[in-house]
Homo-oligomer: A and B are copies of this chain.
Amino acid sequence: MKTIESTKNERVKAWKKLHTRKGREQADSFLIEGDHLVDEALAASVAIEAMITTRTDYETPFSGSVYYVTQAVMDELSMTETAPGIIAVCQKKVWKQPTSLTGTYVLLDSVQDPGNVGTIIRTALALHASGVILGKGTVDVYNDKVIRSTQGALFHMPVYTGDLHQWIETFKKETVPVIGTALTNASPLKRDQTYPSFALLVGNEGEGVQPSLLSQATENVYIPISQRSESLNVGIATGILLFSLQG
């Protein structure tokens, strides 16, 4: 076990760069915090570059480098108010492009709240989806708040990025219907409206899905809500639609 006591240590500085999207893109790695996420990562065979801990008696099945750090170093590396006892440096996973698009996919157009993106990935995993596709303007999946909200689902759910216009065309070519969500020019979600395979397209918290994507969709639906209400949270809407459309 190696010991790091200074917040000015070069390794600490390098790890801190992973707090930003740019730093994560340059290093192709990211940080996860706390026992639950670390256990999930180990269980999912995520490639871990290093473990960083304040616990002198830390035991782990991980065979790579373990760094013992002071509380001050841990506070510097943590993105949470109360620093955890353990942080792991993980390599980004590149998911293989799916060979077939059967199953359920969720397409996110400019979803900006990290908690929403993380919860949607967690929900997609729970509700048997095959993948989540992040379009332009959607928050980085390796953002610390996204990771925390996924509660480990990130390590099990294939996540892709890319141009949603192109993805929609690909789904349609494979005769998988793309179901957009919109408040106008859309049909109310019907109970018997189910599909063996589909791609669900949801959008930005304030603006919804951009019109050019909606016009490409096979069909656009909305969840009938009370007139007293402005809208559903995008994560809640995604949960309802995934569950309901799967039948």
Contacts and interface: CB of A to CB of B under 8 A. Distances in A.
Contact of A239 (B156, B230, B240): B240
Contact of A126 (B119, B231, B244): B231
Interface of A: 115, 119, 122-123, 125-128, 151-153, 156, 191, 223, 225-226, 228-233, 235-237, 239-240, 243-244, 247
A127 B225 contact: yes
Nearest to A36: B230
A196 to B, nearest CB: 15
Given A235-B235, A235-B236, A236-B235, A125 B228 contact: yes
Contacts of A237: 239
Closest 3 pairs (CB-CB, A-B):
A126-B229, A236-B239, A126-B225
B236 A123 contact: yes
26 contacts: A115-B115, A119-B233, A119-B235, A123-B233, A125-B226, A125-B228, A125-B229, A126-B223, A126-B226, A126-B229, A127-B225, A127-B226, A127-B232, A128-B225, A151-B231, A153-B229, A156-B228, A191-B191, A191-B247, A223-B243, A232-B239, A233-B235, A235-B235, A236-B236, A239-B240, A240-B240
